[in-house]
Amino acid sequence: MEGLGEAARLVRGARRGVAFTGAGVSAESGIRTFRGENGLWKQYDPVKTATLSYFLKDPAVYWMVSRERWHTYREAQPNPGHYALAALEELGHLAGVVTQNTDSLHLKAGSQRLVELHGNGRTVRCLDCGASEPRSEVQARLESELPPHCRTCGGIHIKPAVVFFGESLPPAAINEAMGLARECDLMLVVGSSLGVFPAAEVPLLAAERGAPLVIVNDEPTPLDELAAVVVRGRSGEILPQIQLLASG
Ligand code: NAD
Ligand code: ZN
């Protein structure tokens, strides 16, 4: 496969590389991306389901869609791409993973240093009183309670700890991600359309500093021109090969 050898050589030489991942890395785990061929946006209107102002107006609509999607998230398992990234960290080539995903699959695969730029779906937090509880507990009452109420204050503004449109990114996460990008000696971009900002500033910063950019994606991205290597294809197939070649 074109670029594979060169990508592996760069990864092998890295001592504090950073992987920057998007929805594409989880596609082979059965979680659909937003954009791209089978993107969710062809089916749902993201503005209605994940925009803060819509959510506040009518949380029941959000929870109705989310109630169904949660089964997919809970049952999804990491694919060989997630495991390869965890192994590259273990081998000392990656300092960590910065992800835009909220699906917890890097965590399940064993990645140690993980920055979740867009939050995660494991926790539900009350926007009114700040109380939080595990998603599993909220899920259990969704059958009889739509929208679900906060157990502490009784309000209806409890929402998963994922970043909605109209919300800013958790400052600690963006700072940590930028710090990693500032120090990295390689940026491995996987399965991201690189169209969501400020997240995409993370690989951009690394590229501006002169760190080699390796892009693994099944379609072109806006940063391909800046990349040292682009490997086109499925990350669940490509990353294990890179890992094998880099550790051999
Ligand atoms: P995106 O949906 O914009 O882009 C995904 C990219 O991955 C596309 O370019 C697509 O062609 C590519 N791709 C699809 N399958 C692939 C595969 N098997 N191998 C390699 N590449 C593949 O994703 P994004 O850039 O992460 O931005 C989307 C936003 O949506 C993020 O903010 C994220 O928070 C959210 N999101 C998260 C999940 C998740 O947690 N798994 C799923 C959907 C959306
Ligand atoms: Zn509350």
pLDDT bucket at 240, cuts 50 / 70 / 90: very high
- Mean pLDDT confidence for 1-28: 96
For ligand 1, mutation pick of 26, 33, 107 (most atoms within 8 Å of CB): 33
Annotated domain spans of the chain: 1-31+78-118+169-248, 34-75+120-162
pLDDT in tens, 15-64: 999 999 999 999 999 998 776 555 555 556 666 678 999 899 989 988 98
Alpha helix positions (H), 28-170: 46-49, 52-57, 59-75, 80-90, 105-109, 135-142
154 C-alpha to ligand 1 centroid (Å): 35
pLDDT in tens, 91-140: 999 999 999 999 999 999 999 999 999 999 999 999 999 999 999 999 99
33 C-alpha to ligand 1 centroid (Å): 4
43 C-alpha to ligand 2 centroid (Å): 32
What is the predicted pLDDT for the residue at 86? 98
Measure the CA–CA gap between 242 and 62, rounded to whole angstroms.
Answer: 39
Q: Would you call the peptide bond into 147 cis, given omega within 30 degrees of 0 as the criterion?
A: yes
Please name which ligand lies nearest the alpha carbon of 132.
2
Q: Is 189 in the pocket of ligand 1 (CB under 6 A)?
A: no
As beta bridge partners, residue 159 has: 125
End-to-end Cα, the chain, rounded Å: 18
What is the predicted pLDDT for the residue at 197? 86
Q: Is 219 in the pocket of ligand 1 (CB under 6 A)?
A: yes
Name the CATH superfamily for 34-75+120-162. Answer: SIR2/SIRT2 'Small Domain' (3.30.1600.10)
pLDDT in tens, 175-209: 999 999 999 999 999 999 998 889 999 999 999 99
Asked whether the beta carbons of 126 and 102 are under 8 A apart, the reply is: no
Q: Which of these is catalytic: 106, 118, 149, 157?
A: 118
Contacts of 84-87 with C-beta under 8 Å, sequence gap 24+, read 84/239, 84/240, 84/242, 84/243, 85/19, 85/21, 85/25, 85/109, 85/111, 85/188, 85/190, 85/239, 86/110, 86/111, 86/112, 87/243, 87/247
What is the predicted pLDDT for the residue at 64? 87
Asked whether the beta carbons of 169 and 199 are under 8 A apart, the reply is: yes
- Ligand 1 atom nearest to 200, measured from its CA: 25
In the sheet with 187-190, reading across from the earlier edge strand, the strands are 114-116, 94-99, 17-21, 187-190, 213-217, 229-232
Kindly report the average pLDDT of the chain as a whole number. 93
Reference 205, options 165, 177, 242, 166; nearest CA is: 177
Annotation marks residue 157 as catalytic: no
Please name which ligand lies nearest the alpha carbon of 24.
1
1-31+78-118+169-248 CATH, one of 3.40.30.10, 3.40.50.1220, 3.60.40.10, 3.30.70.100: 3.40.50.1220
Give the pair of three-digit tokens for residue 115: 């920055």
Q: Which phi and psi angles does 158 have, rounded to 5°? A: -90, 135
What is the predicted pLDDT for the residue at 221? 96
